[in-house]
Amino acid sequence: MSPSSPSPDDVIHSESFLQALMRRQLGLSVACAATFLIALIGMPLLNYFAPAQMATRVAGFTLSWLILGVLFFPFVWIISFIFIKRSIALEDAEVELVQRSREKI
Amino acid sequence: MSPFFALIGGVDPWIFAFSFVTVAATVWMGFRSAKTAKTASDFFVAGRSVSVGWNASAISGEYLSAASFMGVAGMVMSSGYDALWYPVCYACGYLFLLLFIAGPLRRFGAYTIPDFAEGRFDSPLFRKIAVCFVLFIGFFYTMPQMKGAGVTLAYIFPGMPYWAGVVLVGAVITFNVALGGMKGITLVQAFQYWMKMFAISVPVFVLMAVFGFYNNHVGANVAAGETSAPSTEVTRKALVEKAPKDNAWIAPFGPLTTKAVNAAAAALPAEKRAAYLAEHQRPYSLLYTYSLIIALVCGTAGLPHILVRFYTNPDGAAAKRTTMWVMILIGVFYVFPPIFGSIGRNLMPELYSGVGAKGTDKVVLELPTLLGAKSGVLGSILSGITCAGAFAAFMSTFSGLLVSMTGALAHDVYGRMLRPQASAAERMLAFKAAAVLVGGVAIGLGCFVEPLEINFMVGQAFAIAAASYFPLLFMSVWWRGMTMKGAAIGMLTGGLCALGAAALTNLGTLALDKGPMGKIFAGFAPLNGFWAQHPLLRILCEQPAIWTVPLAIGLMIIVSKATSAQVPADIRMKMLVLHAPEKLGLKQEYIQEHQAGAGH
């Protein structure tokens, strides 16, 4: 594919390495995004199909107002915290993998 | 002299003093850092050396615009529950940016989105197309900032016309940016985040201590099916005629999302209205809500002035940590503006009758003056603090936009297209000239938008970004089969459709204005008649993201498949640079290879 690659036998230039790398990263991102999207898409649906339950009063707020106006923010922080921890760990693992295979050669 | 006295008559000295100090401090910081910014690279991305804390504060400072500071509160007051989607999605959009775009883009290493567009597809032509959207989105985003400026100045100086405030503030910021550039801006933005946080939180706590807590103010509204309000601790003023009813305000699918259907029902004979509303109101407003969510969440990832800051992090891990901090900083902030909105509904309902600069958009500024009756000068001081925060809000966002747009003009249009051989001094001069040009156009546009809600206009800028840059970035990062033609056609079609829809909506709204704008835009009045017949089209025009984003992504896939022979030859290397950890040093290798191979 790219004849000018300096060391074609190096593991990082192999097709399988790139595919595995992207799949792992995308897997992590999609898992986090799915958690978030379920909540984001679910809220209007709950408002639509269960208006009475969502209008339950919690200390003056409606349940729906409390979730959207206050609780949604910490929920997003938790998702992003988990994502950042895992994605930094993922990168470290990849660097280690490459270095180990380079030592073998 | 008499117009001058008319202008300063009725000015509260405290409010004036706080606002003046904010403006003076901002301008001073800009000038001070202008001395240290010497090269063009300093101006564009601040020499790429900003720590996580500074950078997170600066991104948040730039992101929290007049829409967040004034617009969200005004819209929660005018529309209730549905307006809560704005602050939530403004904050959550960052998660999307973090999950899919921030890391890869940072690893690829380019100054701006046009840089990325060119590098990813090896196409200088595509760079030119991408530059257009920096300007489209930017101008849509500057209009609400200018309205914020006009409203705030009209509040501080009761005799001042709206347009004069726009011109004055616009000129000061343009001058500041032309002299300081981004190095100054990073410092100023970080300072302004904390300024805004202070200015929104302190008055809220004092107001809640005196007039009752957040939950009591929301609880003072009687929801559908309730016989009395759950909280009776708040003494409400009587709502005016133009205010939405309690049950519509507090519940989902309220006045914001049902406006089009209500207008359509009003055009029907009286006996058909109830059946029409029962059938269409809720489904259409569900559609509106989803379209709004898509625009705001996807749009955050495509804002030109936000993405450029990821390049000022030292590495990809720092870029991710920065995003985490940004989400915390803006998330905490966004809890406060809706509190202003719900207190304002109970205690300052007269704002519902105001139009333009005198309407609900100024609730954040004026609400603290209620304390004046109880504790004298404290009300004025707190109102002065919120005015200072409003200044920080529109000044920081406007400067950030101005830097991005000026950068696009000076760095891309002048430096790359018109005169690639220009010297460093000529480039600096071009930066300053472009700043003045962009600032002038933004001021001109800002003078027209007084009747439009601040928050709504920002939502439109997000919708355009969501249909243009977001599909471009998302697809180019994760799909190697993308070709330049696919990316360009998808981005142009999606973005221009969103732009056209947003412009049509605004022209229709301006034609309804009872003031001078209504006369200027009277030619567009028939549009509203058409929409009353077709409320679904009105919703798709007002919130276009639900069809423009899939359209852009769909076109990208179809056209890329059709032109799959044109996928860049070194796509595997590009993908590696986008995704492999920076510690592996692929970027250097890629640059060397690229220079040896292609020769540009």
User: Which 3-state string (H, E, C) describes B57-125?
Assistant: HHHHHHHCCHHHHHHHHHHHHHHHHHHHHHHHHHHHHHHHHHHHHHHHHHHHCCCCHHHHHHHHHCCHH
Stretch 98-117 of chain B: residues touching chain A, C-beta under 8 Å: 98-100, 103
- How near does any CA of chain A get to the CA of B317, in Å? 7
Whether residue A61 is contained in a domain is answered as: yes
Q: Give the mean pLDDT per block of 10 residues along chain B (600 residues).
A: 54 80 77 58 50 82 82 88 90 85 78 80 84 87 89 84 88 80 63 88 88 83 77 76 82 81 80 80 88 90 71 70 86 91 87 79 85 76 85 82 83 75 79 89 89 86 91 90 90 92 87 77 78 83 91 94 85 82 71 55
Whether residue B24 is contained in a domain is answered as: yes
Q: Averaged over A90-101, what is the pLDDT?
A: 82
Q: What pLDDT does residue B555 have? A: 94
Q: What pLDDT does residue B596 have? A: 57
Whether residue A48 is contained in a domain is answered as: yes
Two tokens, residue B105: 């883009």
Give the residue from chain B lying closest to A28, CA to CA.
Answer: B99
Whether residue B597 is contained in a domain is answered as: no
pTM for the model stands at 0.88
Q: How far apart are CA A43 and CA B82, in angstroms?
A: 12
Whether residue B554 is contained in a domain is answered as: yes
CATH of the domain at B16: 1.20.1730.10
- How near does any CA of chain A get to the CA of B20, in Å? 33
Range of the domain at B212: 2-568
Q: What pLDDT does residue B43 have? A: 44
Whether residue B97 is contained in a domain is answered as: yes
Whether residue B431 is contained in a domain is answered as: yes
Q: B424, B502, B500: which is closest to B458 by C-alpha?
A: B502
Q: Domain total for chain A? A: 1
First to last CA, chain A: 22
Residue A1 has pLDDT above 60, yes or no: no
Two tokens, residue B428: 């600096």
Share the mean pLDDT of chain A. Answer: 81
**Residue in A13, A37, A62 to test binding to B, most B beta-carbons within 10 Å:** A62
Q: What pLDDT does residue B314 have? A: 66
Q: What pLDDT does residue B442 have? A: 92
Whether residue A20 is contained in a domain is answered as: yes
CB of B405 closer than 8 Å to CB of B399? no
Whether residue B594 is contained in a domain is answered as: no
Q: What pLDDT does residue B600 have? A: 41
Read off the DSSP letter of residue B359: S
Whether residue A32 is contained in a domain is answered as: yes
Find the CB nearest B320 among A4, A26, A84: A84
> CA separation (Å) from B274 to B226, B261, B328, B536?
22, 11, 45, 18
Find the CB nearest B100 among A2, A29, A51: A29
> B81 and A79 in contact by Cβ < 8 A?
no
Q: What pLDDT does residue A16 have? A: 77
pLDDT category at A8 given cuts 50, 70, 90 is: very low
Q: Could you tell me if residue B245 is left (phi over 0), alpha (psi between -120 and 50 degrees) or otherwise beta?
A: beta
Q: Which residues of A touch B100 (CB under 8 A)?
A: 29, 33
Strands (DSSP E) found in B121-275: none
pLDDT digits 0-9 by tens, B19-43: 888 778 877 776 666 666 554 444 4
Q: What pLDDT does residue B599 have? A: 40
Whether residue A70 is contained in a domain is answered as: yes
> B331 and A25 in contact by Cβ < 8 A?
no
Q: Which residues of A touch B332 (CB under 8 A)?
A: 73
Phi, then psi, of A61 in degrees rounded to 5 = -70, 155
ipTM (interface predicted TM)? 0.86
Q: How far apart are CA B553 and CA A16, in angstroms?
A: 27
> A88 and B320 in contact by Cβ < 8 A?
yes
